[in-house]
Amino acid sequence: MAVAGGAMTRGPRVLLRQIREAMADGGPAQGRLDVVVRTIAQSMVAEVCSIYLRRASGELELFATQGLNPEAVHATRLKPGEGLVGEVARLAQPISLSDAPSHPSFAYRPETGEDPYHAFLGAPLLRGGRAIGVLVVQNRAERRYDEDEVEDIQTIAMVLAETVASGELLAQEELRDVEVAPHRPERIKGQRFAEGLAYGHVVLHEAPLPPERLLAENQQVEEIRLREGLNTLKASIDALLDGGQGKLAGQSFEVLETYRMFADDRGWNRSLEEAVRGGLTAEAAVDRVRNEHRARFAQARDPYIKERLHDFEDLANRLLRVLGGETPGQRQLPDDAILVARNLGPADLLEYPRDCIRGLLMEEGSAASHAAIVARALQIPCVGRLQGVRDRLSEGDLVIVDGETGEAHLRPRPDMLESVRSRMAVRSQRQAEFAKLKDTPAVTVDGTRITLLTNAGLAVDLENLDATGAEGIGLFRTEFQFMVSEELPRLNTQTALYKLVLDAAGDRPVTFRTLDIGGDKVLPYMETTEREENPALGRRAIRLGLDRPSLLRLQLRALLAAGAGRELRVMFPMIATVDEFRAARELVDVECEWARRRGRPLPALLRVGAMIECPSLLWHLDALLPLTDFVSVGSNDLFQYMYAADRTNPLVSDRYDPLSPPALRALQSIQKACAETGTPVSVCGELAGRPLEAFALICLGFTRLSAPAGGVGPVKRMILSTDLTTARRGMDKLLGSSAGSVRNEIESLARKLNVGL
Ligand code: PEP
Ligand code: MG
């Protein structure tokens, strides 16, 4: 110990510099690696030093060694979790043992000749919280490595991880199937959240540039920088707390207070200081401590612990920004930014300059998540559920967002980029064609007029009204305003938005849907009661509105005020029984009466409708329709409930085809019941925005469709090319089919009739 301790008093800085020099030396990669292990062994007074790297198969391969049998290099491969080396990688934590062979995880590999070595110290090479390799030193004598040595080997491992990943240490050919080889092109399959194509350079959300300099030139300077950085960080949170008391709702305030507490966390502060004392720059120290946190919490399932990890991540990011001299909110973005995030909060996307953001990639989330909704509204192509994407990209990497196939191409080859460019050109050509159609009425070849509306939810959507030529808003999702707010929007704020929408629409009709929150659409500022096991089947939408009438009444009050003197259309989501509709409609009456008594002007025409999204209503339309002024089919929910398949769960959401006899027959029965009673009916789910599906809908007799903005043009093109009388005859036959899906048949029918899909 005394000898090793003596060597380490020089700190790992000298050693790290030697490693850098060895790497800069040029020559074959293997030769450089050999020098690196030799240097480490010498410096740490170890008889053995080895580097293992993880191959794409998950096996850890011995890449270089000083002290073990050289024949074992590239021959010894350990399965995931095998031996002590595997254990270090699995735990993503260092392991120090004085007598390794007596440890239950020890796996003896005769080809390495490691039997005489007792003391073992292994540290993971971490990238994004995962081990991409393991650095090991071994000594013949039974000895215990002290804390400083454990600390030092981690620092060396960090530098190695960076240099391996950046391609400095190994040649490209050797990196090819090393698991984390960030220079390789890669394709990851995810889920389509917002359609469209884009390419550009990666901007990591909440993560500043990885430290450029890992090694401190002057340790004292780095200590001061770290201390000052921490002070600035704490002061900035204090300022938020002080200035925000009035603005921040109770819960947000508490969150910030907890956050402030973390900034003071002694363990965190101490780890940072120790890392700087070990020879790292302040930035590299923050990065290293963050990696350790990630690794430690990676396996945690407890949501509380996961949240805490998020807090530490966030703090680390803020600290890195402070160290980089950046002021929050003033981040410079390239003008072709592709934002990459694990997940985004309600307002995050809106905080970025819209002009710079070309696309969005997310590791988590769902198509129904806030960011996805906002991305669609802003027409930013977005792919989500991309496993590991955040760790496989570096700031500035070139990346393609394919919102058509639901894929991300990381560091694409030139030919891939070329093919995406040409697809984008075709797309914009088509878009130009759609734009030309915007003032053409949607009439089928044989003269049936279809009313084509659009769905909206944010003020930014209103631009789409004119741009697409939609004839009005068939579904205004009022909950978006609530979801992107920091606090419950007040009466005036709600009224102002509804007025803005009505003004923008002018003579065009707007159908406001009352709040569809609850279930998994939890508002951060609203007290939540118990967590629900099945949020989609839980107390969402009208159920919550009826349980908390003050919330719903406030919204109705705002709607009535905004609609004063003009036509106001209001509909209720998730109606499952006629009694719910009666109760909701009664609240409208109560609010009208309230306004009347105060002499407030009321809408000139008030129409109240129900969304048909719960299958139960299909067998009670005779009771419901006479109570409503109109209905709208929410096919997204209707089919999720009909098929018992959670629309936000990628494992099941695409399992059933809406172009199937049961789904089409359900739609047909709604259309027929409405026609018989003269009830206006529209379809406002995603179906209405896809040409083939919309073709099926008009064949079933629907003449009012409300589509997402991107679907209006393509659906209009379909309508203009459809001979409806002939198409309907073909469709009638398909409804009797015994097949699980009739998608192909409907497509053949449409193609035979030259329908523009
Ligand atoms: C639907 O369910 O089809 C619908 C239009 O409502 P949302 O997608 O907002 O649930
Ligand atoms: Mg719905």
- Residue 431 inside a domain? The answer is no
Residue 247: the pLDDT is 38
Tally of domains in the chain: 3
Residue 477: the pLDDT is 92
Q: Whose CA is nearest to atom 3 of ligand 1?
A: 634
E strand segments, 218-344: 337-341
The number of the ligand 1 atom at minimal distance from the alpha carbon of 634 is: 3
Ligand 1: centre distance to CA 272 (Å): 48
Instruction: Label residue 196 left, alpha or beta by phi (over 0 means left) and psi (-120 to 50 means alpha).
Output: left
Ligand 1: centre distance to CA 428 (Å): 28
Q: Whose CA is nearest to atom 9 of ligand 1?
A: 477
- Residue 83 inside a domain? The answer is yes
Residue 329: the pLDDT is 47
The number of the ligand 1 atom at minimal distance from the alpha carbon of 613 is: 2
Mutate to test the pocket of ligand 1, among 478, 516, 572, 638 (most ligand atoms within 8 A of CB): 516
Residue 376: the pLDDT is 79
Say which CATH number the domain at 253 has: 3.50.30.10
Residue 232: the pLDDT is 86
Q: Mean pLDDT lowest for which of 114-118, 289-293, 345-349?
A: 345-349
Q: How far apart are CA 509 and CA 15, in angstroms?
A: 73
Shared-domain flag, residues 608 and 731: yes
Q: What is the mean pLDDT of the chain?
A: 85
- Domain boundary pick from 394, 426, 458: 426
Shared-domain flag, residues 322 and 192: yes
pLDDT, tens only, 710-740: 889 999 999 999 999 999 999 999 999 999 9
pTM of whole model > 0.85?
no
Mutate to test the pocket of ligand 1, among 477, 571, 693 (most ligand atoms within 8 A of CB): 477
Residue 669: the pLDDT is 97
- Residue 2 inside a domain? The answer is no
Shared-domain flag, residues 386 and 459: no
Ligand closest to CA 634: 1
Residue 174: the pLDDT is 60
Shared-domain flag, residues 215 and 89: no
Tokens 């909440």 found at: 206
Task: Mark the residues whose beta carbon lies below 5 A from ion ligand 2.
Answer: 613, 634, 637
Shared-domain flag, residues 379 and 520: no
* Mean pLDDT computed over 745-752: 97
Q: Whose CA is nearest to atom 4 of ligand 1?
A: 634
Q: Mean pLDDT lowest for which of 478-487, 549-558, 746-755?
A: 478-487
- Of the candidates 573, 200, 226, the residue with the CA atom closest to the CA atom of residue 417: 200
Identify the domain containing residue 315 by its residue range: 186-426
Say which CATH number the domain at 623 has: 3.20.20.60
Mutate to test the pocket of ligand 1, among 521, 636, 683, 702 (most ligand atoms within 8 A of CB): 636
- Residue 439 inside a domain? The answer is no
Residue 311: the pLDDT is 65
Compare 81 and 122 and report the one with higher pLDDT.
122
Tokens 């205004």 found at: 476
* Mean pLDDT computed over 68-73: 94
Shared-domain flag, residues 535 and 668: yes
Mutate to test the pocket of ligand 1, among 544, 613, 667 (most ligand atoms within 8 A of CB): 613
Q: How far apart are CA 30 and CA 73, in angstroms?
A: 10
Per-residue tokens: 546? 């009826």
> Strand, helix or coil at 335?
coil
Ligand 1: centre distance to CA 160 (Å): 50
Using the predicted structure, report yes or no on whether residue 490 has a pLDDT greater than 60.
yes
- Residue 438 inside a domain? The answer is no
Residue 298: the pLDDT is 63
Ligand closest to CA 455: 1
- Residue 689 inside a domain? The answer is yes
Q: Mean pLDDT lowest for which of 65-74, 364-373, 419-428, 615-624?
A: 364-373
- Residue 180 inside a domain? The answer is no
Q: C-alpha angle with apex 339: 404 to 131, nearest 5 degrees?
A: 100
Using the predicted structure, report yes or no on whether residue 28 has a pLDDT greater than 70.
yes
Q: How far apart are CA 384 and CA 366, in angstroms?
A: 7
Say which CATH number the domain at 168 has: 3.30.450.40
Shared-domain flag, residues 167 and 314: no
Ligand 2: centre distance to CA 636 (Å): 6
Ligand 2: centre distance to CA 643 (Å): 15
Ligand 2: centre distance to CA 95 (Å): 52
- Domain boundary pick from 155, 175, 195: 175
Residue 301: the pLDDT is 58
Shared-domain flag, residues 400 and 485: no
Ligand 2: centre distance to CA 502 (Å): 22
Residue 252: the pLDDT is 41
Contact indicator for 121, 137 with CB cutoff of 8 Å = yes
Residue 248: the pLDDT is 37
Using the predicted structure, report yes or no on whether residue 392 has a pLDDT greater than 60.
yes
Q: How confident is the model at residue 293 (pLDDT cuts 50, 70, 90)?
A: confident
Shared-domain flag, residues 401 and 455: no
Residue 391: the pLDDT is 73
Q: Which residues does ligand 1 sit against, CB inside 6 Å?
A: 475, 477, 516, 613, 634-637, 684-685
Ligand closest to CA 511: 1
Q: Whose CA is nearest to atom 10 of ligand 1?
A: 637
Shared-domain flag, residues 723 and 679: yes
* Mean pLDDT computed over 239-252: 48
Shared-domain flag, residues 601 and 686: yes
> Strand, helix or coil at 248?
coil
Ligand 1: centre distance to CA 685 (Å): 5
Contact indicator for 470, 464 with CB cutoff of 8 Å = yes
Q: Whose CA is nearest to atom 8 of ligand 1?
A: 636
Per-residue tokens: 586? 């009664």
Q: How confident is the model at residue 9 (pLDDT cuts 50, 70, 90)?
A: very low
Ligand 1: centre distance to CA 492 (Å): 26
Ligand 1: centre distance to CA 619 (Å): 20
The number of the ligand 1 atom at minimal distance from the alpha carbon of 475 is: 5
pLDDT, tens only, 309-324: 666 776 787 788 788 7
The number of the ligand 1 atom at minimal distance from the alpha carbon of 368 is: 8
Q: How far apart are CA 432 and CA 422, in angstroms?
A: 15
Q: Mean pLDDT lowest for which of 29-43, 134-148, 464-478, 663-677?
A: 29-43
Residue 10: the pLDDT is 47
- Domain boundary pick from 378, 398, 426: 426
Ligand 1: centre distance to CA 16 (Å): 57
The number of the ligand 1 atom at minimal distance from the alpha carbon of 637 is: 2
The number of the ligand 1 atom at minimal distance from the alpha carbon of 684 is: 5
Count of residues making up the chain = 757
Ligand closest to CA 574: 2
Residue 127: the pLDDT is 74
- Residue 441 inside a domain? The answer is no
Ligand 2: centre distance to CA 684 (Å): 9
Shared-domain flag, residues 71 and 217: no
Per-residue tokens: 401? 């967002």
Straight-line distance from the first to the last Cα atom of the chain, in angstroms, rounded to the nearest whole number: 76
> Alpha helix (H) ranges present in 96-170?
147-165
